[in-house]
Structure 1
């Protein structure tokens, strides 16, 4: 069953890649069948085996030989390992299915945000609603943790945004900073879901970890690519995953 869960996760990961690429373009995730994003050639099944095809083809299209983003491989591996980890953690129960949908949606949100720096609102709603079904906390405790967490970050977002728009913009004489937000609107539903699932203490640990994970990429994008906007959802999700499976917050008991 463990091997089956890994293979199943890899197959789902292949489908998630299609969703990630087509959803922002408002294209069907089912039809037409998979095609190369560079030459538009339809991909036959033997060139579309999760994980193995990417490695065998050395990350290139079998038809035009142009490079394919490593994100395809990362999504398939991430989906496979998360499916295996959730199966080992939860077992073959109804909550496993709900947890899988929750984590798969987080993967889709992360990679869409990383590429477009904007995510569909309905996916955020799905994550938030599902969080109440997979949490181990009572409804009242989950809501309390979520509201406290959101309240703290609304205030923090206001203070940092005020600094960026009114102080930093004047110091650097950069007009583009006057519309810059510290956190994106899509970050808040993810924060709320993290609070629901992990509780207040676990959520703060996950957010602390996400900040650490985001430091180096944000510096790189700022210096090398002159991009001051760093998508934060991928790092929030990464911090959440680490805390969810390794329960680092238990050391603070």
Structure 2
């Protein structure tokens, strides 16, 4: 069934779990329809079943590797045939390899770039013809690692820094088509992956370094994404929104000094 004229459609990549799935729920709760994409087919099937139970007949799940131009183009053609419009694109799909520069193979480097950067380029390019019909928004999901360097992130951090500049390039070029483009840079977030790979020591380090002294939630990132796609952000384009508890603002600020200040 085609959506009513007032029903907006959001396409979200990497939406089988985590921030992508939380974003799908944000849009659905506000009357949007959503297209959820992921290359992890089993997890996507489970997520699609959850969304269908929660919001019947308002979501479409599609297996798609965003680094493959043919798959991306086929996906957009399916969305156009089914719903005839795209109002928001959330380029959330991302992968990571955490190794030192000298230990990162070219294959690993390309694996990260292909999804994190090429995927955003391909999806944006494919969705522009539908986005421009009524005006729309693109939100790219970078990382605090794209704003500040850290250990073991030569491929991941570089891909996210490039994505931030790509967003600015998009904003300048697509404004004339009625498409706004912004980027979210999440700090540490309570995702399933973080829970698996962040040791107690790493979590303590993050809590000490972040002014709000905690990880963010997937829902808090989704709220930022939703805002940038909404009419309330109609004059916002080309911007980087760090949803990070103050992590980037603190820079190299010493946690001990912040603790001492909090006692005043």
> Higher helix share goes to which structure?
1
Q: Same fold (TM over 0.5)?
A: no
Give the structure with higher Rg (CA): 1
The normalised TM-score by structure 1 is 0.31
